[in-house]
Amino acid sequence: MTKREMYVAIVNGEMTEEMQTLAAELLEGLDASNAKRKEKAAEKRAEKLEAEKVIEDAILAVLRDEPMTASDIRDAVEGLETPQKATVVAKRLVEAGRVKVDKVKGKNGKVNGYTLA
C-alpha cells in the first residue's frame, strides 16, 4: 500500500491492519529523523557555547578599570568580527556579575562602556 492509498482510505473512513502497520512504520521514521535533528542541534549549541566561552575569556583578559566600548573590545579581541557580537557576550558577562557597564561618551553620543566588576 502506498502512502497515497493509505491517506485516501483514512479520508474515506476505512482502517485496515496494513494501514496501521504502515502508519506505525512512518511514525518510527519520523521519530528517528527528529531525534537525529535534535542531536545535531544540541551539538551545534555546544560548539557555539564553547566558542563563546573562549570569547568571554578573551574579553575578560582585555578589560581593565577604564571603560571600553564594544568597538574597543572588538579591536582588542581576535576573533570578534563585529561590535554587536562583543555587546552580546559583554551583556552575558554583566548578567553574570563579572563585568560592569556604564555610559561613556562615544563618537555619536553616549554608549555602553564595560569594565571589570
What is the H or E stretch that residue 99 is in? Answer: strand 99-106
Q: For the whole model, what pTM was predicted?
A: 0.61
pLDDT tens digits, 29-83? 999 999 999 999 999 999 988 888 999 999 999 998 899 999 999 999 988 889 9
What is the H or E stretch that residue 40 is in? Answer: helix 17-62
User: Is 43 within 8 Å of 76 (Cβ atoms)?
Assistant: no
The class that CATH gives domain 3-116 is mainly alpha
Q: In the structure grid, which three cell numbers stand for residue 44, read together?
A: 551545534
